[in-house]
């Protein structure tokens, strides 16, 4: 288990050092004198779609693609460039986002009239720095560091789930400017939503319906069927299987699913975490190997909601890239963006073969 040290930044935001081993000096103080973070975030109900939309206009001023020597996620190494991390070096760091989409301190107001329903954008957004190496990558982290990252995500999943009003904790990584990343330093994020996101809500309903009809877990059934079929398996271990979904939406998409029925990261045992720390970056390296260049991707942990539907939920990690060929990206055009009907140019079986390194 990682060693955890909590401090507060100069604007009172929380920061947590997760160290591979104890004994690190974490006494450095943030001397920037930042003003307290303010959030005007609010969520508005879309009556036609039946889902919440978050409006966060204050984020327009957030940091956008700074030069390397001005990266706010690097350690603070001298007085001329103080960053979000006061220490001169670190293993893994988690801190409250300075420009949060959701915040427990949101100044948004409630308004309910049936057509224009609004609620404060309550929740929390955190940043997870995987390494102090600005030019590093999650796929290149050693297993012991991946293990520390997993400890951090597990710890924060539990902590954020205890915040009143939080219904879902989503941990994810965006990688690559093609994805829309505004900071190139290797990092991820954690969003604590005051509602279950639409995609997870649909999954919850599907899992519940299958369980009511069969008494079994739908994710377990899909995993067993994929293992039996074999054509879409990318990598298989003792505790996890990585496969391309039968109805994959993205050109290259992989689900990493534990064999044991568990709801979230905190439920994984030591053996499962040890294998995951090897398999997860291995899958990412397979993505990078597709076109012999770093792959733009999103990796998101599909965990159980904080409250309802936890018994039927089966943890999964989805990794997908928007690159479909060298120099070509998969755009969400008319059918996908306008009608939410996905059209994939690459057969999942062919994508799995490519990820396995087969010609």
Active-site residue numbers? 187
Cβ-based neighbour number of residue 79 at 10 Å: 7
* Cα angle for residues 218, 236, 201 (degrees, 5° grid): 30
- Write the CB contacts of 210 (distance below 8 Å, at least 6 apart in sequence): 216, 217, 218, 221, 312
Distances (CA, A) of 98 to 33, 79, 186, 330: 13, 20, 17, 31
Tell me which residue has tokens 């006061």: 86
CA–CA distance, 210 with 12 (Å, rounded to integer): 46
Query: Hey, how many other C-beta atoms are within 10 angstroms of the C-beta on 237?
Result: 16
> For residue 301, with 0-12 CB atoms within 10 Å meaning exposed, 13-18 middle and 19 or more buried, which class applies?
buried
Closest CA to 280 of 301, 264, 262: 301
């Amino acid at each position: 288990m990682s060693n955890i040290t909590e401090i507060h930044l100069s604007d009172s935001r929380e920061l947590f050092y997760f160290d591979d081993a104890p004994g690190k000096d974490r006494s450095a103080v943030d001397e920037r004198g930042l003003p307290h973070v303010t959030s005007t975030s609010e969520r508005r109900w879309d009556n036609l779609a039946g889902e919440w939309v978050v409006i966060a206009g204050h984020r327009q001023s957030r940091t956008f693609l700074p030069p390397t020597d001005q990266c706010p996620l690097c350690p603070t190494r001298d007085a001329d460039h103080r960053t979000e991390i006061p220490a001169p070096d670190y293993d893994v760091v988690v801190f409250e986002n300075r420009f949060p989409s959701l915040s427990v301190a949101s100044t948004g107001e409630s308004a309910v009239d049936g057509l224009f329903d609004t609620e404060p954008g309550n929740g929390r957004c955190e940043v997870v720095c995987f390494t102090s190496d600005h030019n590093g990558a999650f796929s290149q982290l050693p297993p012991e560091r991946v293990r520390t990252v997993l400890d951090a995500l597990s710890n924060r999943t539990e902590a954020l789930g205890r915040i009143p009003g939080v219904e879902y904790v989503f941990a994810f990584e965006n990688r690559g400017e093609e994805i829309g990343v505004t900071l190139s330093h290797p990092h991820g994020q954690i969003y604590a939503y005051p509602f279950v996101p639409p995609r997870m809500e649909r999954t919850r309903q599907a899992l519940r319906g299958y369980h009511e009809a069969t008494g079994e877990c739908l994710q377990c059934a899909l995993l067993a069927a994929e293992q039996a079929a074999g054509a879409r398996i990318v990598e298989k271990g003792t505790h996890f299987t990585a496969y391309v979904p039968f109805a994959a939406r993205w050109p290259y998409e992989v689900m990493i699913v534990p064999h044991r029925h568990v709801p979230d990261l905190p439920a994984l045992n030591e053996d499962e975490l040890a294998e995951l720390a090897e398999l997860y970056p291995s899958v990412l390296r397979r993505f990078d190997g597709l076109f012999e260049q770093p792959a733009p991707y999103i990796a998101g942990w599909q965990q159980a909601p904080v409250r309802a539907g936890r018994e039927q939920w089966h943890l999964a990690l989805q990794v997908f890239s928007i690159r479909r060929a060298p120099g070509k990206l998969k755009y969400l055009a008319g059918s996908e963006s306008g009608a939410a009907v996905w059209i994939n140019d690459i057969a999942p079986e062919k994508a799995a073969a490519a990820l396995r390194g087969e010609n």
